[in-house]
Structure 1
């Protein structure tokens, strides 16, 4: 059973060509689109996070 699984895994690894350029470009387009759509929320979240970090760092000093 283990030998069979090992051969199946090796066959799978040999036949996979990897991720193509088109797939990478499509993923990047989707990610950039999400960033553009949620830009305001991302900025608000980052500002809140850095304010909390700043406030908590003042408590340490």
Structure 2
């Protein structure tokens, strides 16, 4: 019985699969944090860019943050 536990302990010390899984988990979590920070920082800029392009496609209109029908931003006629 003692030799069984001794062999088991030896195998567990040599087995690196658990450590590799933890390393991959840490890498995935760090990548997720970087993506969340990038989306948070660039979100407003991307929204404004898409709104401007969308208004341009509508035919000579420009995006205004206070314009639009409800006053919350939208496309208005170009000056």
Same fold (TM over 0.5): no
TM range (shorter): 0.3 to 0.5
Normalising by structure 2, report the TM-score: 0.36
Larger RCO, structures 1/2 (Cα 8 Å, 6+ apart): 2
Q: Which is higher, the Rg of structure 1 or of structure 2?
A: 2
Q: Relative to total residues, which structure has the larger strand share, 1 or 2?
A: 2
Q: TM-score, normalised by structure 1?
A: 0.43
